[in-house]
Amino acid sequence: MLAVGLMSGTSLDGIDAALVRILPRAPAYELELVRFQTCPFDATLRDELLAALPPNAGSVAAVARLHHALGRAFAHAAKAVMGSEEIDFAASHGQTLWHDGPRHVTLQAGDAFAIREAVGATVCYDFRSADCAAGGHGAPLVARVDALLLGDASEDRVALNLGGIANVTLLRKALPPEEAVAFDTGPGMMLLDAFVAERTDGLQRFDAAGDLAARGRVDETLLDEMLADEFFAAPTPKTTGRESFGKHFLAQHVRLKALALEDGAATLCELTAVSVARAIRGAGLQDARVIAAGGGARNRTLMERLAQRLESGSVELSDAMGLPVEAKEAMAFVVLGYETLRERAGNVPAATGADRPVVLGAIAPQNLRGLFARVERECTPSS
């Protein structure tokens, strides 16, 4: 099948859209990335998002308008990556407006029916709510996909995602996908991006390749102060987001204001490296093969600091596994969408804390009977 995966994360860079050819191959999937692109949010929509997100109060009216506007933006991204191709289905994560894992509350905006009308195909969406209804955090969401695509019978692996928030999936050798463990480790690039944007008056929105951090010195006192945040010591399963590590986190640590741009970048880069490394070492997997994806994986300084903290020599990129760093999450939602269409549980209770495995996702249907028939044909072993 040919499908589009759509993802927008906490970094608010824009919408990642992946056109993917997917075929079930027991026990996992065969994926081919046909095309990928990121469609940046226009300035007005991004400003409206920031105004509605924590620590701002937002409003019901703002959420409704954003749901509509984001639906159109996701639809545009899907059409752009499709080109002249026709697809069998789309799978959209949406944009998280609120997430409180411990209270099982989550909300992703982006009207799936706007996407359906644009692409002329079924859309799978709202992947987190079912897990929350089953007592889970609704995140991390791609643990099962990581296990299916990256798990190995002969070696321990760690799938690391470095988006706005960082999370890990612990893949112990020879264990089934249902026994994968995943959790958020803390800030990925969110704090560093916000700091750089603020200090440069928006001229830079991130530390490209980690060049600023590479020229700076880590303020160890400030680093220890930030690492004292209660989230880092909390037990798993755990999730976090802008509610904990938004701009207000930077404002709370006044020592940061006295640092030069490069020193602040170095300290925040180190915060991510230390928190990720501690999580991996705490699980006893410091010798595991670490496979990184997400925008932060292109930050060379962060990759070097993480490797040093793990004392493993290197952290490799998911590119080598056929999952391009920037596209991996959007591709993962194609897999989750296919799992929805198969009515197979997409969550991993050991990762999310849910009471049981559940089928994830809602469906905006378009010729659903025909789609289900194609899924059944693909999933039926040939004689």
Same fold, 2-141+327-379 and 144-321: yes
The pTM (predicted TM-score) of the whole model is 0.90
Residues above pLDDT 90, as percent of the chain: 84
Contact 317, 300 (CB under 8 A): no
Across the range 196-207, mean pLDDT stands at 92
Q: Is the bond preceding residue 55 a cis peptide, omega within 30 degrees?
A: yes
**Phi and psi of 377, rounded to 5°?**
-60, -45
Higher pLDDT, 54 or 69: 69
Q: Give the domain ranges of the chain.
A: 2-141+327-379, 144-321
List the beta bridge partners of residue 100: 105
Across the range 283-291, mean pLDDT stands at 93
From CA 327, how far away is CA 309, in angstroms rounded? 26
Across the range 209-219, mean pLDDT stands at 97
Q: Which two tokens stand for residue 45?
A: 């929509």
- pLDDT (tens digit, 9 = 90+) per residue, 86-133? 999 999 999 999 988 899 999 999 999 999 999 999 999 999 999 999
Across the range 327-341, mean pLDDT stands at 97
**Phi and psi of 52, rounded to 5°?**
-90, -15
Tell me the CATH number of domain 144-321, given options 3.40.50.620, 3.30.1330.200, 3.30.420.40, 3.30.60.50. 3.30.420.40
Element (H, E) at 7: strand 2-8
Q: Which two tokens stand for residue 10?
A: 């906490």
**Phi and psi of 176, rounded to 5°?**
-70, 160
Contacting residues for 145 by C-beta, under 8 A, at least 6 apart: 332, 335, 336
Strands (E), 101-257: 105-109, 122-125, 157-162, 165-171, 181-187
Q: Tokens 């028939």 appear where?
A: 373
pLDDT of residue 313: 61
Tell me the CATH number for domain 2-141+327-379: 3.30.420.40
The answer for 313, left when phi > 0, alpha when psi is -120 to 50, beta otherwise, is left
Q: Which two tokens stand for residue 203?
A: 């001229």
